[in-house]
Each structure stands twice: as structure tokens, then as C-alpha cells.
Amino acid sequence: MRRDARGGRRHTGAARALLYAHAPRWGRALVARLRGRRPLFVCTIAHTDTSRIPGLSAAGATPALRELTPAADAEALYYGRARCLHGVPSNPLGPPGPAIITIAALRLARIPCLVVDAGTRVRPQAPTVLLGERPGACITTGRAVPNAAELFARGRLLGRQLAGCADYLVLAESVPGGTTTALAVLLALGIDATGRVSSSMAENAHALKEATARAGLAHLAPAAVAADPLQAVAAVGDPMQPVVAGLLLGAVGRAPVLLAGGTQMAAVLALARALAAREGMVLGPRRVAIATTRWVLTDPTADLPGLVAPLGTYPVLGTALSFARSRYPALRRYEEFLVKEGVGAGGAAVAATLAAGVTPGQLRRAAERVYERLTADDA
Amino acid sequence: MRRDARGGRRHTGAARALLYAHAPRWGRALVARLRGRRPLFVCTIAHTDTSRIPGLSAAGATPALRELTPAADAEALYYGRARCLHGVPSNPLGPPGPAIITIAALRLARIPCLVVDAGTRVRPQAPTVLLGERPGACITTGRAVPNAAELFARGRLLGRQLAGCADYLVLAESVPGGTTTALAVLLALGIDATGRVSSSMAENAHALKEATARAGLAHLAPAAVAADPLQAVAAVGDPMQPVVAGLLLGAVGRAPVLLAGGTQMAAVLALARALAAREGMVLGPRRVAIATTRWVLTDPTADLPGLVAPLGTYPVLGTALSFARSRYPALRRYEEFLVKEGVGAGGAAVAATLAAGVTPGQLRRAAERVYERLTADDA
């Protein structure tokens, strides 16, 4: 930050690159501590059969391709494109998925990444840390993730090790249908999340999501969740949630954590906070924040800060990245909220700014180059 | 290092903690560069059916338990003890396996660790990066690791990422029967390894190992190896070898690498060097060394420096750790060469000295405490 002739602050591009949507004072303090430090990006992938309910998810061009989305995102992180499908997972209306942003951000700032498989139907053709072999069932069954406790324990063990590998962790996800499982888990944990979770579609199917969540919650006794918050996941969550909550709690004593995602990460944060409380610990707001995209923060159909507020003064950060001035019509459609977040795109962008001063303009151009390479393959 | 009254050098415990068995000048230069830096320990586990040949391996108390050794070592790294068997894998004559040293070293110096599964019969009940799902066949078939090229490619991808997570990597292994596959691969690559590989037994079964290796090599045309060094692994290697060679070549451009093991790592180094040469590159001795135990370096039945010498001036480092003065008879038997190396024990010890100034005496006492906890469970 420099001062101009009138003594006022003239923000550099990097300073303007970040948005502070909740607990901005804590957010700025965390940003100051992490600037120039070395992050490790960890993307946890999972499948939930909840994504098979028609109309819930657009994280994939077709229902059949959506089953491949977690694996394809993981492959794209390593290879710059998927192996099990062409390009990267896309929205049915055409825009490429958020993996193009993540790939661009990690490469620009030379941030290392690892993929964790919490339970998938299709395994990536790429190196992954295998923590669970069981995909999530549909949450309407009320028995979505029976191995939630084991996933949490393994995530925590791994988080302890990974915290020694970096100055801070950026924890991302790829889970089609994940905002519905987030809604259900938030409701199970007593957070008023109705109408507040985001969506992979411009038209957020709030009514369908709520009906789905309520069908699952009917199987769950509130007393069970009070005794063990993992029961919320076991009944109506997805396999990513206990793994990332475990990574967070395993790491946070040794390294700060950015939860890279939208409202799905509010559910992870609520879960981790409840699990810490069960052990008599407080998950303080000094060492954990949510980092997401401008599209999530300005999503007219969702309210991420409103989900985080009842949890505490956890910062919600955002990247100012915009595709409004992109030369590619498909990317400009992000500004219509056709794609908002996923594969930790927002958190990767924030980390790239913190680690290497990457500006939104540089990141847009790098994402365009990733997209160009994918479409050049089509020719 | 301090100077005494006579102006001579008085070595501190940490300086005397290290041995230089080959290319000492390069070794000291590398040590100077790595001292105080942050390592990441990565143990690659695999199974080879070669270990089922009676009399080849003592990496496990019984033949049945030997099948569990890679998984048990991986679990012990995370939990301090195995889950699939009691304690840690042991020698049939009683001494606990080298995992007690690795656990002690990593904990003393707070070195993070990851486990990579290259192909096992029994999967660890712990987080692992799954790179291959196929255990190695017996090398006498001449078709031991048909997926060697894929394992190498995945290891290389992962190595590139892991190199961004640390100042240097320490690459370890747990593969019962691995000195026999090492012998076979070294011979296939044209290194005169006869009678030079080490063993998990005091009585090194050189004749049996050589007969086994030769039976496999009979299936392999030297021209095939000259065209593609991975053919040596595909015919007579084990799944760990291409993964660790890949990790090494993926990482070494960004971070130095200590190959943590005995003569098995000479085979990995020979393989990596040949693979680099195929791409017109030279794997220089400034950024890679082998780090092992005193027991390997003084093993009267093996010759690690003699295996490395024809490859180049790659340093061979050792830890001065000794159990001669241990209070436990079972540990003192290490000095009879009943156990020598494995799970990267020597490299972990070297890294603990470099990272935190851990002395051999501190490490011996810490390993004794790990052993005490295991035997306390028996009571």
C-alpha cells in the first residue's frame, strides 16, 4: 500500500484484490500474517448420491458427466485438464467449471497441491490420498455417511502432518450436490440456513434443496447431534465434510487454515466448531477463515456471511476476480452467476494474491489461457 | 562446531552424528545446505511376491506377518504402533523393526510424513497416497511390475507437488524382499551388484538372491532395458522403485532429495539416473544423496558405497546412531546386524540431526521410549 500526494492511501492492485465480507478486522489481521508465506492447497473430493436428484446440481455438463466431476477436477489440478472426460467439468449451459481458475491461480503462484479422496464413485487417474472408499448415499435415506467418524479421524491425522508441510493450508472441495448436504448439516447443527446456501445454478433450487434436506432430517434425532455432531454428517452429510473438518482441526494448532469454498465451507466450519466444543476446545477466529469468490459473495440467492455470523467472528474473504471484461463469452457468463465456486477457486485466488501478489487482472488472463488450451484441443 | 583451547576443531554431538561413506565432499556441502531447513518425509510402501520365497526376507516376525509389514509400518508412522498387527513389524528373532527409529526421529524433530502406496496386498488403516493398486509379482516370472511406467509417471507428478511443500524431501520405503528386487534391477541396469546388496537378515542369502534375480533376468533382453530403463522394473523390480524414482525426478528440480534407505535406494538411484539420461538430462550429485544407518554402512555382507560409485559422486550419508549401549537386549541385537534399515530409519535420523540437531544419544533414548510403549502394551 502506498500513499498518494494527498496523504491518502492508494491501494495497490494486490490490496484491492481481496474482499472482506465478514469480520473484516480479523480478516485483515489474518491476511497480514499470511502474506508472503507458503501455502499448501488440498482439494478433498467426494460423491454424494444426493447429486442424482434432478434439478439440484449443475456441477457437470450432463447428469452422466456429473458423476465424473470430482475425479475430473482432481485430474485437472494435476494435468491442467481432465483425463476421464474432455477439458474440465462444465456447466450444462456451456461455461467451463471453476477448475480453470484454480489451475491458473496455483500455477501463477507456484502453490503445491494435493488431492484427498473422501469417497468417490469414479477414482481420479491421478495421485490422491485415499481416506475413504465409500461414496455418500442420498441424504433422503438418513444414512448418508455411515463412516463419518472414521473419515474425521483420518482427516485429522493427515491434517496434523500436512500442517508441517506449509505455513498455512488452503482446504478446497469438489462435491456435486454439496450445497444441499451443506444445507442439511447446517440445519442439523441448529443453524438457520434456509434459503441461504449457494448453488451451482443461477436459479437456486431452494425449495427442492430444503425438501431434500428435510426428508433426511426426519430420520435424525436432535439429541443425537447434540451428543455427537458427526451424527449430522452420518445422517445427512457428504464424505468431504468430516474429512475437511478433520484436516482443519488436525492442522489448526500448527498452521492457519483457509477454507476454500462457498456455503459448503460454512457447513464444514460449523461442524468443526461443534466437534472442537465437544472436546472442550474453542476454534478461535484468529487461525481460520473462509475464502471464496466474488460470485458467491454477491450471489443474490445466497447469504454466506449470514451463515457464518452465528458461528463467530470467522473472517470471510473473497477474491475480487471478475470475468466481466473477459474476451470469452463463456467466461463472461460467470457474471450471470452460471458458475460461482468449486475446486477451491476463490481460496486459490486469495492464496495466489497472498503468496505472490497476483492481481485479479493477472488471474483473469491466466484463467483465459487455461481455457484457451482446453478449447484449442477441441479444434 | 566449536574450537578447543588448542585451536583444533571440537565437534559437537550433532556434527559427529553424521557419517560420510561416499563422496564426502559433496555430502558435506549438501549437509551444509540442508541444515536447519524443513524436510518432508515420504515413505513409499509396496508388496512383492518375491518376499514369499522362503529364506529371502526377515522383515516381519513370520511369513504370514511379513505380508502385513508395509501396512503395519505405514500405520506405525501415523499412530506410533501398527493397527493390523501388534506393536511394529519385528525380526523373527525378536528385535523390533526399524520403524521405532523412524517414529522417534520424526517426532523429535517434528518432521511431517506422508505414506505413498505403490501397490500392496494389505492396505494400511491410515491415510495413504494411492499411486498403484497392484502388488508386485515374483520376479522369477519376469513380469513383476507391468504398470511400472504408470507408477513412474504418477510418482513424478506427485514429486513435483511435494517438492513445493518442503525445503527437501526424504524418500523412504518399506518393501519386504526389496533387496532382492534391488539386486535384480541393478543387474538389469548393468551394475555389478552381485554380493553387494544388504539384507534384513544377519546371514545375507546372497546365493539365493542371485539365483532368484537371474531366474527373472532370463526373461529380459538387455536391449529392452537400454531402450527403456523401466523395463528392468517391469520385469524384475518392485512397485516402490518406479514410484520413488518418479518422486525423485519430479522433485529434484525444485528441492533436494535424500533417498532414505540402504542398497534398495542404490537401485532407485540407478533407475532414476538412467531415466534422466533417456531424457537427455544429468541427475547431478549436488541435489541427491542416499542416507542410511551405521548398520548398513558397516554391514560386512554388503557394499553400498561400491554400488553407488559406478553411478557417480552421489553422497552416501549415515547416522551414527548405535544401540550398543541400549538398556534393552532386543535393541542391542541391531549391533549383530539382525536389523539394519527400513522405513527410512537412517534417513529420518539424518534429517532429525539436520533439522533439529538431534544427537545419536537423544535418538537412541527416544527409540527406547517408543519401544517401551510398545512392550508396555504387552503387559
Extract the residue ranges of chain B whose pLDDT is less than 70: 1-15, 377-379
The pLDDT assigned to A11 comes to 43
User: Using the beta-carbon criterion (under 8 Å), do B40 and A165 form an inter-chain contact?
Assistant: yes
Please give the grid coordinates belonging to residue B125: 488403516
Query: Which of B117, B130, B164 is opposite residue A112, by nearest beta carbon?
Result: B164
The pLDDT assigned to A2 comes to 38
Pair A46, A118: CB distance under 8 Å: yes
**Alpha-carbon torsion angle A233, A239, A240, A242, nearest 10:** 50
Please give the grid coordinates belonging to residue B208: 539365493
Tens of pLDDT, residues A26-44: 999 999 999 999 999 999 9
Q: Closest Cα partner for A167 from A272, A37, A17?
A: A37
Q: Closest Cα partner for A233 from A247, A245, A249?
A: A245
Beta-carbon contacts of residue B338 (< 8 Å; ≥ 6 apart)? B58, B91, B93, B95, B201, B202
Q: How confident is the model at residue A377 (pLDDT cuts 50, 70, 90)?
A: low
- The residue of chain B nearest to residue A157, with distances taken between CA atoms, is B78
User: How near does any CA of chain B get to the CA of A70, in Å?
Assistant: 16
Alpha carbons A154 and A246: distance in angstroms, whole number: 7
Pair A364, A321: CB distance under 8 Å: yes
User: How far, in Å, are A160, A373, B34, B316 from residue B167 at the CA level?
Assistant: 18, 32, 8, 20
The pLDDT assigned to B11 comes to 43
Predicted-assembly ipTM surpassing the 0.95 threshold? no
User: How far, in Å, are A77, A87, B139, B178, B255 from residue B249 at the CA level?
Assistant: 20, 27, 25, 21, 10
Alpha carbons A168 and B221: distance in angstroms, whole number: 50
Q: Which residue type, as a one-letter code, is found at position B233?
A: V
Please determine, for residue A240, whether its predicted confidence score (pLDDT) is greater than 60: yes
Q: What are phi and psi of A270, to 5 degrees?
A: -60, -40
Q: Which residue has the cell 549401549?
A: B325
Q: Return the number of other C-beta atoms located less than 10 Å from residue B377's C-beta.
A: 10
Q: How many residues does chain B have?
A: 379
Max Cα distance, chain A (Å) = 65
Run of H or E residues at B263 = helix B263-278
Pair A250, A244: CB distance under 8 Å: no
Q: What are phi and psi of A301, to 5 degrees?
A: -100, 5
The pLDDT assigned to B2 comes to 38
The pLDDT assigned to B14 comes to 53
Q: How confident is the model at residue A204 (pLDDT cuts 50, 70, 90)?
A: confident
Please determine, for residue A160, whether its predicted confidence score (pLDDT) is greater than 80: yes
Question: By three-state DSSP, how is residue B188 classified?
Answer: helix
Query: Which of B127, B158, B165 is opposite residue A157, by nearest beta carbon?
Result: B127
Chains A, B: CB pairs < 8 Å? 64
Interface of A with B (CB under 8 A): 40, 78-79, 110-114, 116-117, 126-131, 154, 157-158, 161-166
The pLDDT assigned to B199 comes to 86
Alpha carbons A240 and A237: distance in angstroms, whole number: 8
Please give the grid coordinates belonging to residue B141: 516370472
User: Using the beta-carbon criterion (under 8 Å), do A114 and B154 form an inter-chain contact?
Assistant: no
Pair A278, A152: CB distance under 8 Å: no
Please give the grid coordinates belonging to residue B339: 536389523
Alpha carbons A67 and A90: distance in angstroms, whole number: 12
User: How near does any CA of chain A get to the CA of B274, in Å?
Assistant: 24
The pLDDT assigned to A1 comes to 37
Interface of B with A (CB under 8 A): 40, 78-79, 110-114, 116-117, 126-131, 154-155, 157-158, 161-166
The pLDDT assigned to A15 comes to 63
Chain B positions in Cβ-Cβ contact with residue A78 (cut-off 8 Å): 157, 161
Query: Which of B110, B130, B162 is opposite residue A130, by nearest beta carbon?
Result: B130
Query: Which of A113, A127, A166 is opposite residue B154, by nearest beta carbon?
Result: A127
Q: How confident is the model at residue A249 (pLDDT cuts 50, 70, 90)?
A: very high
Q: Which residues pair with B4 in a beta bridge?
A: none
Alpha helices in B92-177 (DSSP H): 99-108, 148-163
The pLDDT assigned to A378 comes to 60
Run of H or E residues at B259 = strand B257-260
User: Using the beta-carbon criterion (under 8 Å), do B165 and A129 form an inter-chain contact?
Assistant: no
User: Using the beta-carbon criterion (under 8 Å), do B112 and A161 form an inter-chain contact?
Assistant: yes
- The residue of chain B nearest to residue A114, with distances taken between CA atoms, is B161
Tens of pLDDT, residues B106-157: 999 999 999 999 999 999 999 999 999 999 999 999 999 999 999 999 999 9
User: Using the beta-carbon criterion (under 8 Å), do A164 and B129 form an inter-chain contact?
Assistant: no
User: Using the beta-carbon criterion (under 8 Å), do B112 and A40 form an inter-chain contact?
Assistant: no
Mean pLDDT of chain A: 93
Q: Which residue type, as a one-letter code, is found at position A377?
A: D
Residue of A165, A167, A168, A247 to mutate, testing the B interface (most B Cβ within 10 Å of its Cβ): A165
Tens of pLDDT, residues A63-95: 888 999 999 999 999 999 999 998 899 988 889
Alpha carbons B114 and A4: distance in angstroms, whole number: 49
Beta-carbon contacts of residue B129 (< 8 Å; ≥ 6 apart)? A114, A127, A128, A129, A130, B114, B115, B116, B117, B158
Alpha carbons B306 and B266: distance in angstroms, whole number: 10
